[in-house]
Amino acid sequence: MTRTLSSSDTSLRLIDDQVLVTRTLAGETFCFEELFRRYSDRVYGISLGMVRSEAEAQDVVQETFMSAFRKLDSYRAESPFRGWLFRIASNASLMRLRTRRRRPEVSLELSGPSFDDEGRHERPIKDLRPLASKTLEDQELGERLHQSIDALPEKYRSVLILADFDHRSMKEIGDQLGLSVPAVKTRLHRARLSIRQDLEVYLAGQL
Amino acid sequence: MLRCDAAVDMLLDARDGTLSLQGRQALERHLSQCPSCTAFQRSYERSIALTAQTLAVKLPPQAKARIQALLHQRLDREIA
């Protein structure tokens, strides 16, 4: 099928993912290009979040869609296509991380809140509501967040991306990474607390 | 009355959708009476939302066009 998908090809935009998959399998490969149009940004977000290199993340996008195309007949319609695709993307990203030179495993210190012996908060909790009006058009805040995410050790960052960007449950993340749910929970909480702590520091500097 | 350390732990399960109904009710009761945990929950949720926004990047248009052209070429070759 030599037809190329163009931006004016709006008829495909209304078609359900599952129908596009079926039509791709029937040889209409331009339908797969519509799936690329729909999900390439999201796949890029997952891979860039994990591998933290634009060039590598772009390679992962390419690999993900090629791999998805080759495995398309193994996709089962009971689960959403996008979830299946994003899992391929996160697996490809994790594979890249594994092949990088091994760095010593780093543990992240728990960065609050702390509790007294009775389980009460030891210190007042900083209110981040002033950040509620800030958007990522605030370049400084965006940069600070990128730095915070970059600074997370890989094992924490992967869990954070899967939970808070890919919206996977702790059980699904554990299955994918070969971790217990409590281990996922610990990593996720520490990663979130670390970012929250950085935002507190950022906010203190703004006031 | 639920302790603050337990309430913070339960916030994660609540977000994950794995907290029992009983747990959710206990957490809600605690949050309604504890300004510290309420402030923590707000700030925690805010930082999660900002993280998700930060990660929602777009594939640069040139890279998108390049990968799409490559896919087009390869898909046709694989089908042939």
Contacts of B63 in chain A (CB under 8 A): 58, 61
In a mutagenesis test of the A interface, which of B2, B42, B43 is the best target, namely the one with the most A β-carbons within 10 Å? B43
**Tell me, what's the pLDDT at A22?**
93
Architecture of domain A10-99: Orthogonal Bundle (1.10)
B16-52 tens-digit pLDDT: 899 999 999 999 999 999 999 999 998 889 889 999 9
Say whether A128 and B46 touch across the interface (CB within 8 A): yes
Please give, rounded to a whole number of angstroms, the shortest distance from the CA of B56 to a CA of chain A. Answer: 6
Shortest alpha-carbon distance between residue B65 and chain A (Å): 10
Residue B2 has pLDDT above 50, yes or no: yes
For chain A, give every residue range classified as CATH 1.10.10.10: 129-206
Test the A interface: residue of B31, B45, B64, B71 with most A CBs within 10 Å? B71
Give the nearest chain B residue to A129 (CA atoms).
Answer: B43
Structurally, chain B folds into a number of domains equal to 1
- A169 dihedral zone (left: phi>0; alpha: psi -120 to 50; beta): beta
Q: How far apart are CA A7 and CA A166, in angstroms?
A: 27
B42 contacts A127? CB cut-off 8 A: yes
pLDDT in tens, chain A (207 residues): 445 555 446 788 888 999 999 999 998 888 999 999 999 999 999 999 999 899 999 999 999 999 999 999 899 888 899 999 999 999 999 999 888 766 656 666 666 666 677 777 777 777 666 665 555 567 788 888 999 998 898 889 999 999 999 999 999 999 999 999 999 999 999 999 999 988 888 877 765
Q: Tell me the count of A-B CB pairs closer than 8 A.
A: 149
Distance from CA of A73 to the nearest CA of B (A): 13
Handedness of CA A203, A204, B3, B5 (dihedral sign): positive
Give me the pLDDT at residue B27, please: 95
Classify the complex by whether its ipTM is higher than 0.95, answering yes or no: no
pLDDT of A93? 95
| Angle between the N-to-C axes of helices A181-206 and A170-177, in degrees from 0 to 180, rounded to the nearest 10 | 110
What are the residues of chain B with a beta carbon less than 8 Å away from any beta carbon of chain A? 3-6, 8, 12-13, 16-18, 36-37, 39-40, 42-44, 46-48, 50-60, 63-64, 67-68, 70-72, 74-76, 78-79
> Cβ B51–A118 below 8 Å, yes or no?
no
Distance CA B36, CA A127 (A): 9
Domain interval for residue B49: 4-79
pLDDT (average), residues B44-63: 92
Indicate whether B64 pLDDT > 80. Answer: yes
- CATH 1.10.1740.10 residue ranges of chain A are 10-99
The C-alpha atoms of residue B76 and residue B72 are separated, in whole angstroms, by 6
* pLDDT-derived band at B62, boundaries 50, 70, 90: very high
Helix axes A81-99, A154-164, angle to 10 degrees: 170
The CATH number of A129-206 is 1.10.10.10
The residue among A99 and B69 whose pLDDT is bigger is B69
Q: Do B55 and A164 touch (CB under 8 A)?
A: yes
